[in-house]
Structure 1
Amino acid sequence: MDYAVLTGIVLVAGVMLALVAQWRDWRPPLVVAIVVGVAVRVLIMYTSAIDSWQPVDFMESFKPAGEAVLRGQDPVLASEGGWHFLPTIPYVYGILLWLGIPWEYAGRLVTVVADIVLIPLVAKLAGGPKASLRALQYALSPLALLIASVHGQVEPVALVFGVAAFVVARGPGSPERAGVRTEVVAKVRRGVAAYGVRASIPRVIGRGGMLHRALLPGPGDVAHLKRAALAGLLMGLALCAKSWPIWLIPGMLLLLPNLRSRVAALFTTGLVPIFFLVTLPIFAGTSLKQIPEVIRIIQDIRPIIGEWGWTPWITGGDWALIPWAAKLGTYLIYACVIGAIFVWRRADPIDMTMAILLVFMVVTPRLGAQYLLWFMPFLIARPTRFAWPAIVGVSLWAAYGYLYMTQFDVTTWWYLHRDWSRASIVLLPILALAMPWGRRVSTAPDLAPAVDTSAKAKVTSAA
């Protein structure tokens, strides 16, 4: 990498400014944060575009996908599996290439614009008097600069839609929200204790029962459904960029005010990826016979481990195909994510989402440096006690890979990779400490209309 020193200076200066802003409690106007964010991203994008070193996947996976769209071909099949997501982003690549923009700029322009839009979204996500401070800190986030401006990885695109979905789902009012309500659960338990399981079932799921009443229109129902539909649309677009935003869906749903709006949001979330899949023959030239093959490639995840966390200590710091370790890690992810949802079920949904993403990073068997950006907008918007040790730690680890290791030939890179990948295990306890342990129960009032579970509201058995 030719401009590693300049990039490193910008990253270090940005971190120092972000920490000083935290210490001095600076709250600049939002426009200042956006201007700073634009300036540093455009600078690093320019130096990265004219650099003699370009990321392998950026050139050999993303570029062929954009060129395939330009030729009217399916980006998944024409890139020979290099692009294994829905074609939404390659469509944008194709348009930019059609306009004559060189790939080194066009590929990064998509991620840089998305990352710039994330700056005011982080302010919205944070809310309150320190919103502009959080926006400035994200504008200076070294990891975001590396992923968006150097690597051109598409994480910022998935995040811009995912974070926007959270902002829309939360709607107006206080930025603090309650998690799962416990009053209804307690009343169900009391009902079971009083009437028995068999007699309680129709009172919960029967006509006139709690579930039935929860699905009936209520005050402000149209406004809630519109908000839910828009939030679901945005989350669906996030899933069209990459598959990992599925971990954001529980938090988004909990931010919505009632069951009807959550059902609407879930429906529109799923509708968007289906739309881009079924329209492949129209927009990408994919034949109907090829769609099952496209789905197979998108679903295929090779069990490559050895880049991060505990798995490099199994592989000696190299990449390896070890199915049992990948399977174990996958089971750990599912178990720990379910555990995080349970532990933080009564927390603010943003805190619950942050816990889900951080626990994923701790236990995952496979990870690229770009994955570490997943939790960054949430952790910066709602920092915990160990937020900045985690932010600085993962940024240093990623910067070593992007700026230092790229100075050497392939053989030397692999030797350095062994120590670099194994060193990542030091970050796991820091990420675990950065989880919002002190915010497992939200003290915010519940803004959702409660379901009437009184005896008067019930339909008589037995009606």
Structure 2
Amino acid sequence: MDYAILTGFVLVTGVVLALVAQWKGWRPSLLVILAVGIGFRVLIMTTSAIDTWQPVDFLNSFKPAGEAILNREDPVLGSKGGWHFLPTIPYVYGLLLWLGIPWEFAGRLVTVVADIVLIPLVGKLAGSPRASLRAFQYACNPLAILVASVHGQVEPVALVFGVAAFVVARGPGNPERQGMKSHLFSRARQSVSALGVRGAAQQAVHQAITPGPGDRANLRRAVLAGLLMGLALCAKSWPIWLIPGMLLLLPTFRARAVAFVATGVLPVFFLVTLPIFAGTSISQIPEVIRVIQDIRPIVGEWGYSAILVGGDWTLHSGIATFGTRLIYVTLLVVAFVWRRADPVDLTTALLLAFMVVTPRLGAQYLLWFMPFLIARPTRFAWPAIIGTSLWAGYGYLYMTQFDSDTWWALHSVWAQCSIVLLPILVLAMPWDRRVFKAPAERSHPTPRDTVPASIASTSS
């Protein structure tokens, strides 16, 4: 990378501004927030686009997907599996290439625009009175700048629709909401005791499908939230972990059912219209689905898998299978423990837990939890943000200065060092917010209003 020093300076400046904003209690205007966020991202996008180093997948996977659209070819098959998601983003790539924009700019323009839109959405997710502070802190987030402006990875596109779905599902009113309510379980037990299992089930179904006050407005929110979450799934498959939190933010069973169905509409639409918009033959669709579903068992980049294989990328089905099962078990446990928490806290816990137990991870994955953790920070939020940003920045900025052999030697150490971040990510989970408490029930400020422990005493 030719502009590593400039990029590093911008990233450090962002961290300093974010921490000072917390310490001083800044509440900048939206215009100032967007000016900072756009300035950082456009500057780094420009230097990255003219750099002699370009990310391998950015050139060899994403670009062929956009070119395939121009050539009326399927983006999944045309990129030889380099693009293994739905064709939604390749359509945008193809349009920008058709307009004559050089790929080095066009590919990053998609992610930079999405990440800029995400800035005010993080403020909306946080809610007043700290909305502007949280939006400013995301505008300064170093990992977001790296992923969107340097790597051109599509995580910001998935996140902008996923976070928008949360904001829409929550609707107006107090931004803090309870997840699953404990009284529902006691009411269910009483119904079963009084009516029997069958009678209680019939009563529950009747109550669920019977319209209530404000039902029409709730259903409108549910449809829009579901469609937005569907667009997130059109970008990548991982936003499936956001669906539980979105559903819990909706007020009724009817609204949740409608949102769940609406979530699948656009992914199905983009799949079945491949023959119309992408030139995919009907006979090729099963092969496209197979490639999209196929997850290669690449391990060795992160956490315990890096320790097991010495920090080298490798295909290891045993570790990958174990890790996948560990993910499912862990997330089920986390979902149960945080079931009564604010749905944003539940989502933060799920995403952080995923990072801890996953056997395969690219640095861009670490952006998944950033909007949620910044919107509702915990005591160890900033150690997690800074730690993961330092780890990713080392890979993006320092390791790219060397030839292939030196890069591989550095990669081995870099990957294994990620194990140090796992306990920090565990600590950053919202442990003291496992059960929602209304603001009136709190006897002291919540840890989400703090920064790292080193300056916590001055930030309240």
TM-score w.r.t. the length of structure 1 is 0.94
2:197 to 196, 201, 205: 201
Q: 2:199 and 2:32 mapped to 1: Cα distance?
A: 56
Residues 340-359 of structure 1: pairs in structure 2 closer than 5 A? 340-359=334-353
Which SS does the other structure have where 1:173 is aligned?
coil
> 5+ unaligned residues in a row in structure 2: which ranges?
440-460
Which SS does the other structure have where 2:435 is aligned?
coil
Question: Are residue 7 (structure 1) and residue 10 (structure 2) matched?
Answer: no
Q: 1:411 and 1:344 mapped to 2: Cα distance?
A: 45
Partner of 2:215: 221
Question: Are residue 115 (structure 1) and residue 115 (structure 2) matched?
Answer: yes
Which SS does the other structure have where 2:303 is aligned?
coil
Aligned residues: 439
Superposition deviation, residue 83 in structure 1: 0.3
One-letter code of the match for 2:172? P
**Contact 2:66 2:97 (8 Å CA) reproduced:** yes
Q: 2:351 and 2:362 mapped to 1: Cα distance?
A: 14
**Contact 2:112 2:149 (8 Å CA) reproduced:** yes
1:434 to 405, 410, 428: 428
Superposition deviation, residue 278 in structure 1: 0.2
Partner of 1:412: 406
One-letter code of the match for 1:78? G
Q: 2:298 and 2:264 mapped to 1: Cα distance?
A: 28
Which SS does the other structure have where 2:264 is aligned?
helix
Superposition deviation, residue 122 in structure 1: 0.3
Q: 1:319 and 1:41 mapped to 2: Cα distance?
A: 30
What do residues 356-411 of structure 1 show as CA deviations (whole Å, max 9, x unaligned)? Answer: 00000000000000000000000001000000000000000000000000000001
2:277 to 283, 286, 297: 283
Question: Are residue 423 (structure 1) and residue 405 (structure 2) matched?
Answer: no
The CA RMSD measured in Å over matched residues stands at 0.9
Q: 1:222 and 1:294 mapped to 2: Cα distance?
A: 38
Deviates more, 1:287-296 or 1:29-38: 29-38
Question: Are residue 241 (structure 1) and residue 235 (structure 2) matched?
Answer: yes
What do residues 407-437 of structure 1 show as CA deviations (whole Å, max 9, x unaligned)? Answer: 0000100000000000000000000000000
**Contact 2:191 2:200 (8 Å CA) reproduced:** no
Q: Among the aligned pairs, what percent are the same residue?
A: 72
What do residues 130-167 of structure 1 show as CA deviations (whole Å, max 9, x unaligned)? Answer: 11000110000000000000000000000000000000
Superposition deviation, residue 226 in structure 1: 0.7
Q: 2:305 and 2:256 mapped to 1: Cα distance?
A: 37
Residues 371-410 of structure 1: pairs in structure 2 closer than 5 A? 371-410=365-404
One-letter code of the match for 2:201? I
Partner of 2:143: 143
Question: Are residue 101 (structure 1) and residue 101 (structure 2) matched?
Answer: yes
Superposition deviation, residue 200 in structure 1: 1.5
Q: 1:49 and 1:360 mapped to 2: Cα distance?
A: 32
Superposition deviation, residue 124 in structure 1: 0.1
What do residues 244-281 of structure 1 show as CA deviations (whole Å, max 9, x unaligned)? Answer: 00000000000001000001100110111000000000
One-letter code of the match for 1:287? S
One-letter code of the match for 1:156? P
> 5+ unaligned residues in a row in structure 1: which ranges?
446-463
Q: 1:442 and 1:203 mapped to 2: Cα distance?
A: 31
Superposition deviation, residue 313 in structure 1: 0.9
Q: 1:184 and 1:147 mapped to 2: Cα distance?
A: 42
Partner of 1:451: none
Which SS does the other structure have where 2:302 is aligned?
coil
Superposition deviation, residue 202 in structure 1: 2.5
Residues 168-317 of structure 1: pairs in structure 2 closer than 5 A? 168-192=168-192, 194-195=193-194, 199-206=195-202, 209-317=203-311
Which SS does the other structure have where 1:311 is aligned?
helix
Question: Are residue 133 (structure 1) and residue 121 (structure 2) matched?
Answer: no
Question: Are residue 55 (structure 1) and residue 55 (structure 2) matched?
Answer: yes
What do residues 159-217 of structure 1 show as CA deviations (whole Å, max 9, x unaligned)? Answer: 0000000000000001000110121210222344x44xxx51232222xx022212211
Q: 2:76 and 2:225 mapped to 1: Cα distance?
A: 27
What do residues 332-357 of structure 1 show as CA deviations (whole Å, max 9, x unaligned)? Answer: 10011111110000000000000000
Q: 1:367 and 1:10 mapped to 2: Cα distance?
A: 25
Q: 1:236 and 1:317 mapped to 2: Cα distance?
A: 35
Q: 1:204 and 1:180 mapped to 2: Cα distance?
A: 19
Superposition deviation, residue 443 in structure 1: 1.6
Q: 2:429 and 2:57 mapped to 1: Cα distance?
A: 31
Partner of 1:453: none
Q: 2:94 and 2:315 mapped to 1: Cα distance?
A: 33
Which SS does the other structure have where 1:383 is aligned?
coil
Q: 1:72 and 1:29 mapped to 2: Cα distance?
A: 45
Superposition deviation, residue 91 in structure 1: 0.1
Q: 1:81 and 1:156 mapped to 2: Cα distance?
A: 21
One-letter code of the match for 2:415? S
Which SS does the other structure have where 1:289 is aligned?
helix
Q: 2:141 and 2:105 mapped to 1: Cα distance?
A: 21
Superposition deviation, residue 128 in structure 1: 1.4
Q: 1:103 and 1:239 mapped to 2: Cα distance?
A: 24
What do residues 53-83 of structure 1 show as CA deviations (whole Å, max 9, x unaligned)? Answer: 0000000000000000011111000100000
Question: Are residue 41 (structure 1) and residue 41 (structure 2) matched?
Answer: yes
TM-score w.r.t. the length of structure 2 is 0.94
Superposition deviation, residue 293 in structure 1: 0.2
What do residues 2-40 of structure 1 show as CA deviations (whole Å, max 9, x unaligned)? Answer: 000000000001101111111111111122111100001
One-letter code of the match for 2:72? G
Partner of 1:362: 356
One-letter code of the match for 2:198? P
Structure whose CA Rg is larger: 1
Partner of 1:65: 65
Partner of 1:124: 124
Q: Which runs of 4+ in 1 moved over 4 A?
A: none
